[in-house]
Amino acid sequence: MMNGFATMGLSLMTGVSEDMEDIGESTRTVHAAADPEEKTGSVQTPIFQTSTYVQRDFAEHTGYEYSRTQNPTRDALEEAVAILESPTVSAYGSAFASGMAAITTVTQLLESGSHIIAASDLYGGTGRYFDEVLSKFGVETTYSDLGPGDLEACAQENTRMLWLETPTNPLLNIHDIATLSAQAHERGWIVVVDNTFASPVLQRPLELGADISCSSSTKYVSGHSDVISGYVVTRNEELNEKIRFLQNTMGAVPSPLDCFLILRGIRTLAIRMERHCDNAEYLVERLATHPKVTRLLYPGLKDHAGHDVAASQMRRFGGMISLEIEGGEAGARRFAKASRLFAIAESLGSVESLVNHPWSMTHAATPEERRLEVGVTPGLIRLSVGIEDAEDLWNDISEALASSS
Residues making up the chain, counted from first to last: 405
- Angstrom distances, CA of residue 338 to CA of 331, 343, 351: 11, 10, 20
Q: What per-residue confidence (pLDDT) applies to 8?
A: 34
Q: What per-residue confidence (pLDDT) applies to 4?
A: 46
Confidence class for position 36, pLDDT limits 50, 70, 90 = confident
Confidence class for position 1, pLDDT limits 50, 70, 90 = low
Mean pLDDT, the chain, rounded, equals 93
Q: What per-residue confidence (pLDDT) applies to 62?
A: 87
The residues carrying an active-site annotation are 68, 123, 194, 219
Mean pLDDT, range 345-356, rounded to an integer: 97
pLDDT at 221 over 90: yes
Mean pLDDT, range 317-344, rounded to an integer: 97
Among the listed ranges 15-24, 231-240, 315-324, 331-340, which one has the minimum average pLDDT value?
Answer: 15-24
User: What single-letter amino acid sits at 211?
Assistant: D
Q: What per-residue confidence (pLDDT) applies to 3?
A: 60
pLDDT in tens, 259-283: 999 999 999 999 999 999 999 999 9
Q: What per-residue confidence (pLDDT) applies to 9?
A: 35
Confidence class for position 152, pLDDT limits 50, 70, 90 = very high
Mean pLDDT, range 362-370, rounded to an integer: 89
Contact 344, 336 (CB under 8 A): yes
Give the chain's domains with CATH numbers. Answer: 5-266 (3.40.640.10), 270-402 (3.90.1150.10)
Q: What per-residue confidence (pLDDT) applies to 21?
A: 57
Work out the number of other CB atoms within 10 angstroms of the CB of residue 89.
Answer: 14
Mean pLDDT, range 109-126, rounded to an integer: 96
Instruction: Spell out the residues 6+ positions from residue 312 whose beta carbon is closer than 8 angstroms to its own.
Output: none
Q: How many helices (H) and strands (E) does the chain have?
A: 15, 12
This prediction has a pTM of 0.93
Mean pLDDT, range 243-272, rounded to an integer: 97
H helices of 133-169, in order, are 150-154
Q: What per-residue confidence (pLDDT) applies to 10?
A: 32
pLDDT at 6 over 70: no
User: What single-letter amino acid sits at 188?
Assistant: G
Instruction: Spell out the residues 6+ positions from residue 219 whose beta carbon is closer than 8 angstroms to its own.
Output: 99, 196, 197, 199, 347, 348, 349, 350
Return the percentage of the chain with pLDDT > 70, whole number.
95
Contact 315, 202 (CB under 8 A): yes
pLDDT at 107 over 90: yes
Among the listed ranges 36-40, 240-244, 381-385, which one has the minimum average pLDDT value?
Answer: 36-40
Q: What per-residue confidence (pLDDT) applies to 395?
A: 98
Confidence class for position 13, pLDDT limits 50, 70, 90 = very low
Mean pLDDT, range 161-188, rounded to an integer: 98
Mean pLDDT, range 38-46, rounded to an integer: 87
